[in-house]
Amino acid sequence: MNRCAIYARVSTKDKGQDTENQLRQLRTLAKNQEWDVIAEFIDHETGKHSNRVQLQAMFDAARHREFDVLLFWSLDRFTREGALATLQHLNLLSSYGVGFRSYTEQYLDSCGLFKDAIIAILGTLAKQERIRISERTRAGLERARAQGRIGGRPGKVWDRQRAAELRKQGMSWRAISRELNVAQSSIRKGLKAVHKTPSAKRKRPVDNAPLRG
């Protein structure tokens, strides 16, 4: 008999009844498969990030091989982080020797015939997601360069004249930094650029001493 764990997730806006519906159906599935439910992990928060308490507890239990297969109601209840993160989560379970199965998506079953096919599809989707992220990043940098910015972020606007006045009054760089809420290094560079002028060429002194024959 396989040991199984159940993972259920509902957002904070959902009612408790939604959780019970998921759990009841997942428990029935486990019973029909003659699997022993050894743990249930339930999160009441968004699925758009992976730092969910119960999700991490589930992965920790999987790492220690406390169960053999993970059941979840649907893929979007398991995670809504996108294809890349989803693939990484499922691959992590597989690396621990733990299978997975979705209640509503019969094809998503690492214990069945479609395991290799679904992993291949998710891998393709993840690859396309990486390409889209790369393209968006590149487009953002190109747009920033076109606007005269470097690195995609606009420089922080601060009053250089005010900084110069405070410096003349004897205020320390640290105090000016606190006053203007700007990094000391930025203030130093900014004032240096303002006051920096091309150095005049030194003229060679004219030697008016009489020539000696």
Beta-bridge mates of residue 109: 101
Per the structure, the count of domains in the chain is 2
> Domain check: are 110 and 175 in the same one?
no
Which among 38, 29, 23, 54 has a CA at the least distance from the CA of 109?
Answer: 29
- Mode of pairing for the β-strands spanning 99-102 and 69-72: parallel
**Residue 208: inside a domain:** no
The enclosing domain of 100 has a CATH number of 3.40.50.1390
| pLDDT in 10s for each residue of the chain, 213 residues | 589 999 999 876 665 567 888 899 999 999 999 999 999 999 988 888 888 999 999 999 999 999 999 999 998 899 988 877 888 898 889 889 999 999 998 878 887 776 677 767 766 766 776 676 677 777 777 776 666 555 545 556 678 888 888 888 888 888 888 888 888 888 888 887 766 544 444 444 444 444 444
**Residue 143: inside a domain:** no
What count of other Cβ atoms lies within 10 Å of the Cβ of residue 127? 13
Q: How far apart are CA 56 and CA 202, in angstroms?
A: 70
Residue 72: domain span: 3-126
CB 53 within 8 A of CB 82: no
> Domain check: are 74 and 177 in the same one?
no
> How deeply is 181 buried, as exposed, middle or buried, from its count of CB atoms within 10 A (0-12, 13-18, 19+)?
exposed
> Domain check: are 78 and 172 in the same one?
no
